Amino acid sequence: MTDAAEAPARQNVFMRISTHLAQRTDIASALEAVADEISALIPFTHADLCLKDRPGWLSSYEVGIQTRWSRARTRVDASPLRDLITGKCDYMLCQDAMQDPRQTFEGALSEPIFNHKLRSRVHVLMKVMGQPIGTLNISHSTPGLYTQDTVQRAQHVADVLSPYFHALHAAEQAQRAAQVGQQAEAREEGLRRDALELTQTLEQERQRIGMDLHDQTLADLTRLLRTVTGGAPPGGEDLAQQITEIIDDLRRMIDTAVPTLLDLFGFAHAVQVHLERAIGADPIDIDVVDLTNGAPDRLDPTVRTALFRIAQEAINNAARHSGARWIAVRIEPLGTSGLVMTVRDDGRGIPADLQRSSGLAHMRTRARLISAGIDILNQPGCTVRVMLEHCG
The domains found in the chain, sorted by start residue, are 3-183 (3.30.450.40), 260-392 (3.30.565.10)
Q: How far apart are CA 238 and CA 40, in angstroms?
A: 105
Sheet holding 326-334, edge to edge: 285-290, 326-334, 338-345, 382-388, 373-378
This prediction has a pTM of 0.49
Q: Alpha carbon of 294 to those of 268, 270, 287, 298, 332: distances in Å?
A: 8, 12, 16, 7, 10
Q: Can you tell me whether residue 63 is helix, strand or coil?
A: strand
The pLDDT tens digits along the chain (392 residues) read 445 556 556 667 777 887 887 778 788 888 998 999 999 999 999 999 999 988 899 999 999 888 889 888 899 999 999 999 999 999 999 999 999 999 999 999 999 999 999 999 999 999 998 899 999 999 999 999 999 999 999 999 999 899 888 888 888 877 776 776 777 677 777 767 766 666 666 666 666 665 556 555 666 677 677 766 665 555 556 777 777 777 776 766 666 555 567 878 899 999 998 899 888 888 889 999 999 999 999 998 888 888 998 998 899 888 887 888 999 999 999 988 899 999 999 988 877 666 566 678 888 888 888 889 999 988 778 999 999 987 76
| pLDDT (0 to 100) of residue 22 | 76
Distance CA 270, CA 260 (A): 8
Asked if residues 376 and 384 have their Cβ atoms less than 8 Å apart, the reply is: yes
Kindly give, in sequence order, each residue whose CB lies less than 8 Å from that of residue 277, ignoring residues fewer than 6 positions away: 252, 255
Res 1: pLDDT: 46
CB-side neighbour CA atoms (13 Å) of 213: 19
Q: Output the CA torsion sign for 375, 378, 380, 384.
A: positive
